[in-house]
Amino acid sequence: MATLIAPHGAAELRPLYIDDADERANLEREAGSLPSIVLSSAAAGNAVMLGGGYFTPLAGYMSKADALAVGRSMHTASGLFWPTPVLNLVREAGRIEPGDRIALRDPNVDGTPILAIQRVEAIDTFSPGEIEELTSQVYGTTDRAHPGVAEFLSQGRMAISGPLQVLNYSYFETEFPDTFRTAVDIRNEMSRRGWRRVVAFQTRNPMHRAHEELCRMAMERLEADGLVIHMLLGRLKPGDIPAPVRDAAIRKMVELYFRPGSAMITGYGFDMLYAGPREALLHAIFRQNMGASHLIVGRDHAGVGNYYEPFEAQEIFDRIPKQALAIQLFKADHTAYSKKLNKVVMMREAPDHTKEDFVLLSGTAVREMLGKGIAPPVEFSRPEVARILMEYYRERP
């Protein structure tokens, strides 16, 4: 069996999903008699990630003290490196008190079934000033036009902290049975394949030629055993392409253009934060926990709008303690097709080129083309991928 990179802050993964069927059935019965709350979508995503081992070594939702420490220093109060708060925020806790066991209901599934059980250690309220400070530290702005900020500020100011027992993986396992994988699943599959040096590619979008070639470049330069394409399956901002469409497009690209067995297509159940640099660090923790040795971080990784500088998500890795993370970065520049060289290149590696020497299309331009049933140039997008995206835009109301 291949020896994979160690998880973050622990000798082995600490998934909070209750794997034993009998124990899980007993907990499900118990949950029916417990006080319950309906989670925010963000907190439900946190539970899924805790369940799957991606948030190793966390045992549950953070306290106010931990969250504030993370905002100020990117470390919990006990000193664990962590870049973003992992919270269960509510507007009102009702009669729930520290020491209670409570059932956490899933807002993203009809009937709000029970997702997890939490033992309440504390219920703390953030002051408006503390919430504003935390928002600014994590997102780099308090502008409510930022989709991550708007979502965070909508969740409430009371933090219910404490450990979890996760009973299922929400809708991700049922709606994406071929794609959703826990960190445990991915580690096991990498070991089965004998992979040790593994490149991870984060995506919330379909993959075009530039993304495809960037993955190939990283694999070749790092002499990697394999690639894990790891797509976000949770909630996105309005206008982003839905996960089933992205999944189909990526699968078609890998089927036709990657060497068989060289790439794993996987996804994880989490809502996008759009937190730019801080979220890039969180993405690195996810990938270290799932066993990847390297993460591709490119231009405007996890960003939105003009809130972050183009390479701020790379630069933040140079400012954290050297031992904070074991995973390594593959730093990528903007990648595009060169008309001069007849191939996709990183733009910084073609100093003799002007903008006119590249095939460059804005996201808006591509969406307009697809919406009109016009395939982007083959230098930009594989025809088979473009057809799937055109079909999606044609069927939109």
Residue 201 has pLDDT above 90, yes or no: yes
C-beta atoms surrounding 94 within 10 Å? 10
Cβ partners under 8 Å of residue 237, min gap 6: 147, 272, 274, 304
| pLDDT tens profile 263-310 | 999 999 999 999 999 999 999 999 999 999 999 999 999 999 999 999
pLDDT of 397 reads 67
Distances (CA, A) of 380 to 107, 183, 346: 38, 32, 14
- For residue range 314-370, what is the model confidence (pLDDT) as tens digits? 999 999 999 999 999 999 999 999 999 999 999 999 999 999 999 999 888 998 999
Catalytic residue, candidates 204, 235, 251, 367: 204
Residue 46: active-site member: no
Helix (H/G/I), strand (E/B), else coil: 117 = strand
Which CATH number does the domain housing residue 329 bear?
A: 3.40.50.620
Residues 203 and 292 in one domain: yes
Is the pLDDT at 195 greater than 90, yes or no?
yes
CA distance 36 to 74: 31
- Given a cut of 90, whether residue 396 has pLDDT beyond it is no
196-224: average pLDDT: 96
Q: Is residue 15 part of a domain?
A: no
User: Is the CA virtual torsion 277, 202, 272, 371 positive or negative?
Assistant: positive
Spatial separation of the C-alpha atoms in residues 13 and 381, rounded to whole Å: 38
For residue 215, what pLDDT band results from cuts at 50, 70 and 90? very high
Across 6-20, 125-139, 226-240, 309-323, least confident range? 226-240
Residue 83 to residue 393: CA distance in whole angstroms: 36
pLDDT the model gives residue 151: 97
CATH number of residue 43's parent domain: 3.10.400.10
Summary mean pLDDT of the chain: 96
Residue 327 inside a domain? The answer is yes
Give the domain range for residue 29: 21-170
> Is residue 298 in some structural domain?
yes
Q: Which of 188, 193, 197, 205 is catalytic?
A: 205
Span 61-73, mean pLDDT? 98
Regarding whether 152 and 236 lie in a shared domain, the answer is: no
What is the number of other CB atoms lying within 10 angstroms of the CB of residue 375? 16
Q: Are residues 54 and 84 in the same domain?
A: yes
Query: Is residue 288 situated within a structural domain?
Result: yes
pTM metric for this prediction: 0.96
Q: What percent of the chain has pLDDT over 70?
A: 99
Q: Are 59 and 14 within 8 A, CB to CB?
A: yes
- Single residue among 170, 198, 222 that ends a domain in this structure: 170
159 DSSP β-pair partners: 89, 124
- Answer whether residue 1 shows pLDDT above 60: no
Q: Which two tokens stand for residue 43?
A: 């907190």
pLDDT of residue 191: 96
Q: What is the per-residue pLDDT for 2?
A: 62
pLDDT surpassing 90 at residue 311? yes
Give yes or no: residues 248 and 119 share one domain. Answer: no
Give yes or no: residues 204 and 315 share one domain: yes
Evaluate whether residue 1 is within a structural domain. Answer: no
Question: CB of 140 within 8 A of CB of 303?
Answer: no
Same domain for 191 and 135?
Answer: no
The domain total for the chain is 2
At 235, the pLDDT band (50, 70, 90 cuts) reads confident
What tokens does 360 get? Answer: 């460059």
Please say if 306 is a catalytic residue. Answer: no
Residue 152 has pLDDT above 60, yes or no: yes
